[in-house]
Structure 1
Amino acid sequence: MNSHKHIVIIGGGLAGLTSAIHLAKYQIPVLIIEKDQYPKHKVCGEYISNEIMPYFDFLGIKLDDLGVVKISELNISTTKGKIIKSKLPLGGFGISRYTLDNYLWNLAKSLGVQTLNDQVLDVGYKKNRFSVKTANNALITSDYVIGAYGKRSILDKKLERDFSKNKSPWLAVKAHYKSSFNPNTVALHNFDGGYCGLSMVENNTVNACYLVNYDSFKRCKDIDHFEENVLKKNPYLKDFFENSQRIFEKPITISQINFDRKQPVENHVFMLGDAAGLIHPLCGNGMAMAIQSAKILCELLINNYESNIYTLEKIEELYSKEWKTMFSKRLYAGRILQKMLLNETIQQIGQKVATLVPVIVPKIIKQTHGKPLIC
């Protein structure tokens, strides 16, 4: 397959699919390349802030028929089981990536987006044109390339991104469960070396996803032993795992999760979602940020498609500036918050302060979230 496309999107996750749908709404030709087949489970917290709802409405993305679960409350527990409860300022909803990504993939195709199931191995840029090479020997040229391939990819090393040279100690584990769980609540429970998020998605199913430092994990020989000997030391996690039935045959995992700073543009490739910057999962805002980054870039590409007044370099400059304005403070707040929550002493102090001054928790949450998107 040798061809030329106006825009190639690498990755069919939330950022890539939302971009494809937005661009297709304006009849802009798009090819999206995704290595996996849908539907497919992904390691993810599966909670989305309501700040993206005006944008989804604008794009014609209808979630009512997907069984989303409305969430309005947050519970946080320390490793010792001390609890903090708070209202979520904007609220959000729970939906599995298995359902949401598949819906967006099919919606994009119905709008005329071209799709290709293949893995991109390399992206080059020369004389104002991109060349995209895939595992199945396709060579595609394009005017623009969008990198929406998630937390990590072989492309990161090909593009010589700085963070790809560093090893990361973080491992994430996810599974779905049947359990008696408050559907209005997203819970975040700390344990030695990490934290576990619990929230309900469609079909009365609870998503349990935890992030753990590998040094903590490797002391146990496998996931079952780790959950038994580490997670269950938190009484809330002990209660959940002992009174729940796992639906997955076995949990799914992803390693080498890197929270180092990234650049929103690399070698002229526009990066979206986790490929541009990964917020710590405890903030519960990664999915919303991925969707928001799509909006920022698509508006620039649509305006230029209609007027053709900007060079690629100018669009890169504008996108980088808007991306940093939107997300830099959130990412910084996420890094600070994670350091605090992984320190047991600070956990205990924070729980006492939050109990005495409950208004402080919503204010902290706002530091990692944005306002509803204006469309």
Structure 2
Amino acid sequence: MNDSKEIVIIGGGLAGLTAAIHLTKIGLKVILFEKNEYPKHKVCGEYVSNEILPYLDWLSLNISDLNPTHISKLEFSTADGTKVNCGLPLGGFGVSRFALDAFLCKKAIENGCIIIKDSVDNVIYEKDSFTISTLSSGIFVSSIVIGAFGKRSTIDQKLKRSFVQKKSHWLAVKAHYSGEFPDDLVGLHNFEGGYCGVSKVENDTINICYLASYESFKRFKNIEDFQNQIVVKNPHLKLIFARSKILFETPLSISQVSFDKKEMVENHILMIGDSAGLIHPLCGNGMAMAIHSAKIVSELVGKFSFGTIKSRKELEERYIREWNVNFKKRLKMGRVLTFILQKQKFYKLLMRIMIKFPFLIPVIIKQTHGKLITVG
């Protein structure tokens, strides 16, 4: 067994790795469990809002080392091809999860974080302490556990979290391509039952990632048939796919993507990133929110560890409060957009309004994004 003073993080995605970097930076011991090797591709839009840049600087993470694209424009189209363009209020950058996660992992290890490649089988809380069981590395004990295990995991099922009990209506597909696409643009193009995000990441690579309702997808045998018969009915997507060549052997996909409300604290585990709440990808802010949530939990865990926060109850209450202040309205807007996307009548009405009054698009974007994150 390990020293119970070490903080355990379950999951090594954006949120988990960022929390590991932050906590080790302020002098705490961290063990992080991640079942996958780095680097690894993930189903993700791979656009990151610039709101997190001051925080990354504070963590001594120089994102320019990854040669990201700098994105300042949005192109939006309806399923029939009607298009509108606008600027992005804060802008952002494009970088693959393949590169970014590996970059964060390297920094966490340099800071002294212990990363163990293993799956966590169960977490039990009793007598103010956690017992963490792994598949092959034994049992660990910790006073703090941070849950960063993503959209849906074994631990979610063991905890009987409410969203796991419900069937989700969404699946996501992603692949990288070579081809023609502007470096400074993110495209959001709708099709029947979903929408597709297109933007550049490092190495002149195009990331194409789309979200589709199960209802629209289930009529087809495979991803290729769905793309050829539904997705490319949008003329802009037809042109993008025609000009692009897939770099993956096959597209990546995930099903059961849930945007239902989640609890930020479950059985005293502090949830961050997608484990705490998943915003609709249409909002384009999931990666920044994951990193921001790591900042919030790390600052509070630091105060708890050094005695400024006196009790677990106070720690949990403050975390829930700060999460809600920063993300509750954004997630609510994401759920509203999800509802509209599922209801064709409301969706077509919103599209007509946005096309007639394009200045409303940046206003909606601001509702799902934060301001530049300050540190200290």
Q: TM-score, normalised by structure 1?
A: 0.97
Contact 1:82–1:351, Cα closer than 8 Å, also in 2: no
Runs of 4+ in 1 over 3 A off after TM superposition: 1-5, 341-352
What SS class does the counterpart of residue 333 from structure 2 fall into?
helix
1:92 maps to 92
SS at match of 1:219: coil
Q: Unaligned regions of 5+ residues in structure 1, if any? A: none
The match for 1:178 is 178
**SS at structure 2 position matched to 1:105:** helix
Other-structure match for 1:249: 249
Instruction: Give the distance between the partners of 2:343 and 2:239, measured in 1 at CA.
Output: 23
Please give the residue correspondences for 1:256-271 in structure 2 after superposition, counting only pairs within 5 Å: 256-271=256-271
For residue 373 of structure 1, what is the aligned residue in structure 2? 373
Instruction: After TM superposition, give the deviation of residue 67 of structure 1 in Å.
Output: 1.0
Q: CA deviation at 1:342?
A: 4.3
Q: Which residue of 1 aligns with 2:36?
A: 36
Contact 2:77 2:188 (8 Å CA) reproduced: yes
> Is the contact made by 1:78 and 1:344 (CA closer than 8 Å) also made in structure 2?
no
Q: Deviations over 1:226-275 (max 9, x none)?
A: 10000011111111111210000000111111111100000000000000
Secondary structure in 1 aligned to 2:6? Answer: strand
Could you say which residue in structure 1 is the equivalent of 2:293? Answer: 293
2:303 counterpart letter in structure 1: N
Which amino acid is 1:174 matched to? K
Change (3 A) 1:24 1:137: closer
Q: Residue 164 in 1 paired to residue 155 in 2?
A: no
Q: Secondary structure at the match of 1:338?
A: helix
Extract unaligned runs of 5+ from structure 2: none
**Change beyond 3 A, Cα 1:275–1:306:** same
Letter of the structure 1 residue corresponding to residue 26 of structure 2: Y
User: Which residue of 2 is the match for residue 125 of structure 1?
Assistant: 125
Task: Give the structure 2 partner of residue 24 of structure 1.
Answer: 24
CA change 1:304–1:137 in 2 (3 A) is closer
Summarize deviations over 1:112-147 as a string: whole Å, max 9, x none.
001100001100001111000111151000010000
Q: State the shift of 1:309 in Å.
A: 4.1
- Kept in 1: contact 2:309–2:315 (CA 8 A): no
CA distance in 2, matches of 1:354, 1:308: 48
Q: Secondary structure at the match of 2:263?
A: coil
Aligned to 1:304: 304
Query: Which residue number in structure 1 is paired with residue 48 of structure 2?
Result: 48
Q: In the alignment, is the contact (CA less than 8 A) between 2:175 and 2:208 conserved in 1?
A: yes
What CA distance in whole angstroms lies between the structure 2 residues aligned with 1:295 and 1:94?
A: 21
Q: 1-side partners of 2:205 and 2:41: how far apart?
A: 13
For residues 348 and 125 of structure 2, what CA distance do their matches in structure 1 show?
A: 52
Q: Distance in 1 between matches of 2:215 and 2:154?
A: 25
- What SS does the corresponding residue of 1:196 show, helix, strand or coil? strand
Once residues 5 and 44 of structure 2 are traced to their aligned partners in structure 1, the CA distance between those partners, rounded to angstroms, is 31
Which amino acid letter does the alignment assign opposite residue 227 of structure 1? Answer: Q
Q: Give the stretch that moved more between structures: 355-364 or 81-90.
A: 355-364
1:75–1:346 Cα change, 3 Å: farther
The RMSD of aligned alpha carbons is 1.3
- Paired AA for residue 56 in structure 1: L
CA distance in 1, matches of 2:104, 2:227: 33
Q: Cα gap change, 1:84/1:343 in structure 2, threshold over 3 Å: closer, same or farther?
A: farther
Q: How many residues align?
A: 375
| Corresponding residue of 2:361 | 361
Report the residue type matching 1:136 in the other structure: S
Does the residue aligned with 2:198 lie in a helix, a strand or coil?
A: strand
Residues 294-373 of structure 1: pairs in structure 2 closer than 5 A: 294-307=294-307, 309-373=309-373
